[in-house]
Amino acid sequence: MRSLLSRIDRYFAPAPDPVRTDWLGRWTYAHRGLHGGGRVENSRGAFRAAIEAGLGIECDIQRSADDVPMVFHDWDFARLIGRPDKAAALTAVEWRRLSYLESEEPPIALSDLLETVAGAVPLLIEIKSRRGYDVERSCEAVAEALADYDGLHAVMSFDPRVSRWFRKHSPATVQGLVMREDEVGYTQKAWQRRAALWAAQPEFLAYHVEALPNAIVAGLRDNGLPVLSWTVNSPEALQTARLHADAPVAEGAGLP
């Protein structure tokens, strides 16, 4: 059965070039930077702390009103900044006038993050998307920001259109698919997961740790597809990621 599943999954997601992707499994990635203890997620302080700790960095991208890729997870500012504005309603200049509730730091743009990291550790850049969203504009903005960046980096998204866009328009960029199977995601059923894989043709997966282990992921790993796992936030989750994935995207008690 495992052999049959492996052959099926190879059809939906062919094995990538290991020369491009081998680095992915050599790191632990700080989820939204090394936050906590006064450092806010996706902030410059959290990213500097991750670099000092020798951790790779995972971050999120929202798009400003003037199409600048900003490093931020949520679709609005309520949780982290205490304002009701939608993230896409403000220009990048207006974003930089804000400050986090728990810090005087402002949100930063992807270009600021790239300047801060400067190739010291690898970056996993998740491009946020949802139904009805023009994610290709975000892809264009991220690709432009990355055009002259030489450090190790990859883009990823729950949206298969992101992998497809980068494969076509920025083939030098390593691209991956983020997946989950719970009620929050769109890939609860096996056919939905395989449809997403077929549409994305990713070079790696970032898979929800609570959905591991499973046969699809095991088959893809057998075929050489790197698998990262998120969000690893406990020793038990870290053990699961070590057994069934190639690297953890971790925070808090999940950091080794």
Domain assignments of the chain as residue spans, ordered by start: 2-254
User: Residue 8 above 60 pLDDT?
Assistant: no
Rounded Cα distance between 94 and 109, Å, is: 12
- Residues 118, 148: contact at Cβ < 8 Å? no
Radius of gyration of the chain (CA): 17
The reported pLDDT for the residue numbered 130 is 95
Please state, rounded to an integer, the average pLDDT across all residues of the chain: 95
2-254 is classed CATH 3.20.20.190: yes
Three-state SS for 131?
A: coil
Rounded Cα distance between 40 and 52, Å, is: 16
pLDDT digits (tens, 9 = 90+) for 22-56: 999 999 999 999 999 999 999 999 999 999 999 99
Q: Kindly provide the b/e burial profile for residues 147-174, where b requires at least 16 CB atoms within 10 angstroms of the residue's own CB.
A: eebeebbbbbbbbbbbbbbbeeebeebb
Q: Quickly list H helices, the chain.
A: 2-12, 18-21, 44-52, 78-81, 92-95, 110-117, 135-146, 160-169, 190-200, 215-222, 235-244
The DSSP call for residue 1 is: -
pLDDT digits (tens, 9 = 90+) for 68-95: 999 999 999 999 999 999 999 999 999 9
Among candidate residues 12, 2, 3, the one with its CA nearest the CA of residue 197 = 12
Ramachandran assignment for 237, one of left (phi > 0), alpha (psi -120 to 50 degrees), beta (any other): alpha
The reported pLDDT for the residue numbered 1 is 44
pLDDT digits (tens, 9 = 90+) for 115-145: 999 999 999 999 999 999 999 999 999 999 9
pTM: 0.95
User: Residue 7 above 80 pLDDT?
Assistant: no
